[in-house]
Amino acid sequence: MTEIQIKNRKNNNRDYIYLLSSFLKENIVWIVVAVFFIIFSIIFPTFFSERNLLNLARRSFVVGIMAIGMSFAMISGSFDLSVGATMGLTTVIVIQLQPSNLLSMVIAILVGLSIGLLVGLVNGLLVGRAGTNSVIATIGISFVVLGINLIYTRGNHVWIQDIYKGFEFIGAGSIGKFPFPAAIFLFIIIVSQFVLRLTKFGREIYSTGASKECSIFSGINVDVITLKCYLISGFTASLAGVVTAARVYNVDPTFAVGTEFDVLTAVLIGGVSLFGGKGNAINTAGGVFLFVMINNIMTLSGMNLETQSMVKGVLLVIIVSVYSLFREKSG
Amino acid sequence: MNKSIFKFLNKYKVMVILVIVFIISSVIDKNFLTLNNIKNILLSVSTDGTIAVGMTIIMITGGIDLSVGAMVALTSVVVIIYQLKWGSWVGVLIAIAIGLIIGLFNGILVGKIKVNPFITTLGTQTFVFGLALRLSGARAIMGNDPNFAYLASRPILGIPFGFIVFLIVVIFSDFLLIRTRFGRNILAVGGNPEACRLSGLIVNWYVVLAYVFGSFTAVLGGIILTSRINAGSTNIIGNTLINVIAAVLLGGTSLTGGSGRPINTLFGILIIGIIGNSMNLKGVGGFAQTIIIGFILIIVMLLDSLSKKATRVLS
Amino acid sequence: MMDNQNNNIILKLNNITKKFSGVVALKNVSLSFYTGAVHALVGSNGAGKSTLMRLVNGAIRPDSGQIIFKNKPIQINSPRLANSMGIVMINQELMLIPELSVAENILLGRLPVNKFGVVNWKEANSLARKLVNSLGADIEPTKIVKNLSVSEMQVVEISRALSKQADIFIMDEPTAALPESEVNKLVELINKLKERGKTVIYVSHKMREIFQIADNITILRDGEIVGNFEVKDINVTKVLNLMMDKKKENGVIKKKNYEIGSILLSVKHLKRRGIFQDINFDLYSHEIIGLAGLVGSRRTEILHSIFGLAPFDSGEIILNGKKISRITPEKMINYRIGFIPEDRRKQGLVTGMSVKDNLMLVSQRFISKVGILKLFQEIKICNSIRKELDIKAPSLRVEVSTLSGGNQQKVVIGKWFATKSKIFIFDEPTRGIDVGSKNEIFNIMKRFANEGAGIIFVSTEIEELLIVSDRIITLKSGRKTGEFLKKEVTLDIIMKFI
């Protein structure tokens, strides 16, 4: 081989190694999921049962759907901590609209989904247009939404008296052995990944999160991007609410309080950066699975809920510290 | 032209708003302007107000502590549990010790490791609340010390003791911030940390201390509340977090740091307290009150960021 | 050269060399600075001035060579250390606390206190007042800094340095943000510093000021010292000649002489209160206009207003005969205007995204169908851009921040390739780029013009403007002062108008 040929081959090899290592780094969450799955299955025999795994699948959709939506907001550089309250209000309203036949079901679902869009709109205007701090603004909104919820229900438990079969299917039905809600989750993952990676909108979301200034210079309307991402985040929260209503038929109005915390943790585990501009739907799903697995293990090992809460709090702090330390290093 | 209106409102808004709110409340309900009611208001703001003073200092350094509500819950549980075992003093001291440790933890994470304070304290909040639940077994525990019970509500020269404690904290912190070198350094650190570093100030330590102080005031506020209800429970948090943040922002402290004053926060919490009191007098339900306070917070934040946006020039 | 200095040498640089990623920024620089003297440092962008300043200030360390301060060899490891040793830098980014008072800023961290830590305001204010007065200024010590004028803020910052017994004051373009009327105050201030035996290292493009204030002048070019004189022994023309490199003309395509085409853009009476006013010019196709001016002439602000990044108060912007209202960058891009901004890293590129994503960031709106990206087409386009601009990158997928400065700039330019833009605005495109890449960029600009585009080119290096532009418009403090055809002017003439 001539010198140039050798050099070219070395360059090519270097390229491949670079591509491979950056691919692994970006998608590391799935490796961790696999490792944890194997370890947990070995240590906890009950973990690897069909019943438990199907249960996990069902649990993961609530957090999962919201996590995908929240990912949009976070990749664009904003936090949305109102998703729990939004989901809560949606579930409560859908239930109270008593979906007992086709028409009332359709109305309930449409009303439910528009709640998420409405909350997203308000968030988007507050944070995008007016430029308020996204954490506090969405916390404030979450209190308002929770308040509306409590007034509407007067603090009382609510339930569907006569549930329509079609609606029941949404929550409890299966396509073969595959639970319908998980199918929704899968669909959302695919669509979201497509949008994020293969559309102009998606690229503009990454750009807005990674460098607001450059995005402005490139003619991207960052306020509109932020607004759209909040709409998505709110929508997925209300979607999760609709499916929850279909699954459990009755809830306490405060049942969803604190959900945003779990969703945030899952999103961060999945590699969406605190600072915006990084992450994708598939990896967020990986983060969701990992999060749900950890939760599951804690329950299976007999840890009570309060301790689980403590562990999750520490977990969030650790993840966030790691992100910050990494950022300091790369400067 | 729009910008200067916002800026003016921002400068004097807290006192103007306080007066307006006070007048409106006196007008819409005749029971408002009674001595008893005023005392109620003073007592009701003592907890959140004390916490808000600490939050003011933290926000001056450009940070925030979202775990204060959970700290109140933990404090009440710890105080009562150890009061039952070893007496009130021990309970109080242990609560303070735990508070200082958690404050140190938050401070090091934000100050030294430079983690985002919002997310960090969100994590701490979950941990602390979980701990409180664990210790209390998710039920309310009654206190057994008649001296400690209702101490906060006891009037000293007509004023509830809890409010006096709050007042002392305000006066102390305000003095510290305005008249001592230490306080001026805190303001400097929040205003331009780079400049302070260049001048040889150890910026990180000021940030850490701010969080320790913040946790301390959260514990103190929790002690006041525990004394008021004579019980330890995790259900008492209510609207603490948004009340506190709203009060601090109403007082003119900026979310981005560098400015703020405890005495203005005092006015801010009085506004929140008066509004809450009026709502009670008018029979507005607790849930609706949550919405209204949430709205107030959002509006205050909007004003804060709109006035900034007006003065910010893009290129 | 310098033989009559009665003053002592306070700082000596011996054979300093500094490289960044293989590119030599400073080569064997040896220099002495004297007490009680003002030492001017001049050179075009990329000559090494800022590297030199940052070395003295402790922000970076030399690869080889020695720094001798007060007769002792030292290592300046950080700006904080430099500060404590008595070396202070005053630059555009003022290190002041906006919400605190003048006195507090001057005595930052060292407010006089009693034994309880309570501040003695009387003493603090009087100390501050004394320092400010000693510099020939008069500012109330209790005034809040954010309400001060720029020159007053400078006084505060210099006062702080004085109070810390600073001996060396590095000033980086100190008059850039000052209105004409305030420049004299700064001159007085610097003279007062001289009287006290302080050393001022003065970095500036403004020859008039330099010859007014400075005692010594050092000229840098491409990282080396090409001249070291006492100001009284030299004149402006010689300095400018030493600064510029005549050899630049080689390797640059000569522009074909098309008839200048139709008007693409008309700017009429553009005004933004307090920033610029009465800006008029026309841009024709097939031509390059150079905007000449010093730092502070507001060229960038004008360009931002044209592109929709900043507002303006009155005037018109006319594109292809149509007046444009409610201008946004998005609109201007749709009208086929491209903008290559000044700050490559923050405004031109999204660090963290790949080369490909950056290249397609703007063009994607023209290429995608129904919002869906056409990946294969994109890869083809990116590869062709890469070839045409000769962008050296291991792959299109690498993060753009891993590329060298010159290649990064090519990516910024390449962003606009597939947009079929007819107007391009280049704001300081050659800053911090090696000579070879600079020539490549000039060639690109000329190619665009040959193909029918109209280009607005901003650079602080007049020589560059003269090489590339067909017309030159001179600007000073936000006003247009002249308009010339290239063949009518020389460097000296331009210097008079800016």
Q: Taking residues C237-246, what's their average pLDDT?
A: 76
What pLDDT does B143 receive? 87
Flag the least confident range among A65-69, B178-182, B193-197, C221-225: C221-225
Q: Is B289 exposed, middle or buried (0-12, 13-18, 19+ CB in 10 A)?
A: middle
Using N-to-C axis directions, what is the helix angle for B88-111 and B117-136, rounded to 10°? 150
- Residue A275, judged by CB atoms within 10 A of its CB (0-12, 13-18, 19+), counts as middle
Which residues, at least 6 apart from C455, have a Cβ–Cβ distance to it below 8 Å? C283, C287, C288, C289, C423, C424, C425, C426, C445, C448, C449
What mean pLDDT is predicted for residues C45-66? 88
In percent, how much of chain B has pLDDT > 70?
A: 94
Using a CB-CB distance cutoff of 8 angstroms, which residues of chain A are in contact with residue B293? 143
pLDDT of residue B11: 63
pLDDT of the residue at B314: 41
* Cα–Cα dist C340/C441, whole Å: 12
pLDDT exceeding 70 applies to what percent of chain C? 95
The model's pLDDT over C269-303, given as tens digits with 9 standing for 90+, comes to 999 998 899 999 999 989 999 999 887 788 999 99
B interface test, pick of A80, A141, A143 with most B CB neighbours within 10 Å:
A143
Are C70 and C10 a contacting pair, CB within 8 Å? yes
CA-based nearest residue to B209, from B307, B104, B134: B104
List C-alpha distances in Å: A23 to A30, A67, A285, C359. Answer: 12, 22, 17, 21
pLDDT of C53 > 50? The answer is yes
Tokens of B165: 């404690």
Across all residues in chain A, what is the average pLDDT?
89
Residue of B181, B188, B200 with shortest CB distance to C119: B181
CA distance C422 to C335: 9
Nearest CA in chain A to C372: A199
Strand partners, C483: C473
Q: Find the mean pLDDT for residues A55-60.
A: 78
- Mean pLDDT score, C84-88: 92
Beta bridge partners of C171: C90, C202
Whole-number pLDDT of residue B200: 87
Give rounded-to-5 percent helix, strand, coil for chain A.
Answer: 75, 5, 20
Q: If pLDDT is split at 50, 70 and 90, which confidence band does A331 have?
A: very low
**Would the CB atoms of B301 and A132 count as touching at under 8 Å?**
yes
Share of chain B above pLDDT 90, in %: 64
Per the CB < 8 Å rule, is A200 touching C348? no
**Contact across the interface for A264 and B122, Cβ inside 8 Å:** yes
Q: Is the pTM of this model over 0.90?
A: no
Which residues pair with residue C20 across a beta bridge? C23
If pLDDT is split at 50, 70 and 90, which confidence band does C2 have? very low
**Judged by CB atoms within 8 Å, which residues 188-227 of C form the interface with B?**
none
Residue C345, phi-psi category: left (phi > 0), alpha (psi -120 to 50), beta (remainder)? alpha
pLDDT of C252 above 70: no
Q: Calculate the average pLDDT of chain C.
A: 87
**Degrees, nearest 5: CA angle C354-C356-C358:** 70
pLDDT band for position C22 (cuts 50, 70, 90): low
Q: Locate tokens 């001798």: which residue? A: C68
What's the pLDDT at B284? 87
What φ, ψ does residue B269 adopt, rounded to 5°? -70, -30
CA C267 vs CA C243, C284, C286, C289, C482: distances in Å? 33, 12, 18, 13, 15
Q: Give the number of other Cβ atoms within 10 Å of residue C351's Cβ.
A: 17
**Residue A89 is encoded by which pair of tokens?**
């209000």
**Cβ contacts of residue B144 below 8 Å, gap of 6+?**
B83, B84
pLDDT per residue as tens digits for the range C328-373? 999 999 999 999 998 888 899 998 899 999 999 998 888 887 778 8
Q: How far apart are CA C9 and CA C218, in angstroms?
A: 15
Beta carbons of A239 and A87 less than 8 angstroms apart: no
CA of C121: which chain B residue's CA is closest? B179
Substitution target from A92, A138, A142, A144 for chain B, most B beta carbons within 10 A: A144
Averaged pLDDT for residues B141-167:
89
Average pLDDT score over residue span A98-114: 92
Query: Above 80 in pLDDT, residue C256?
Result: no
Mean per-residue pLDDT, A312-328:
85
pLDDT at B152 over 90: no
Residue B315 scores a pLDDT above 70: no
> What gap in Å lies between CA A101 and CA C44, rounded to an integer?
78
Closest CA to C434 of C47, C51, C63: C47
Distance CA C63, CA A37 (A): 51
- Greatest mean pLDDT among A140-154, A248-262, B42-56, C237-251 lies in B42-56
Q: Is residue C167 predicted with pLDDT exceeding 90?
A: yes
- Give C372-425 pLDDT, tens digit per residue: 888 888 889 999 999 888 888 888 888 898 888 788 999 999 999 888 899 999
Instruction: Please tell me which residue, A329 or A81, carries the higher pLDDT value.
Output: A81
pLDDT digits (tens, 9 = 90+) for A279-309: 999 999 999 999 999 998 888 888 888 888 8
- Give B311's pLDDT tier (boundaries 50, 70, 90): low
Q: Which of C336, C343, C346 is nearest to C458 (CA)?
A: C343
Residue type, C200: V
- Interface check C114 vs B, CB under 8 A: no
Residue C204 in this model has a pLDDT that exceeds 50: yes
pLDDT of res. C328: 93
Q: B123 pLDDT exceeds 60? A: yes
Q: Which residues of B120-152 are buried (b: 16+ CB within 10 A; e: fewer)?
A: bbbbbbbbbbbbbbbbbeeebbebebeebbebb
Residue A247 has pLDDT above 80, yes or no: yes
Distance in Å, alpha carbon of B137 to nearest chain A alpha carbon: 9
- Cα of first residue to Cα of last residue in chain B, in angstroms, is 20
Q: What integer best gives the mean pLDDT of chain B? A: 90
Closest CA to B139 of B205, B235, B45: B235
Percent of chain C with pLDDT over 90: 49
Cβ count within 10 A of residue C20 = 14
Q: What angle do CA A295, A297, A300 make, to 5 degrees?
A: 110
**Span C470-485, mean pLDDT?**
91
Cα distance between residue A234 and residue C33, in whole Å: 63
Q: Are strands C471-476 and C479-485 parallel, antiparallel or unpaired?
A: antiparallel
CB contact under 8 A, A309 and B123: no
Residue C352's pLDDT is 85
* pLDDT of amino acid B3: 66
Where residue C343 falls (left for φ over 0; alpha for ψ -120 to 50; beta otherwise) is: beta
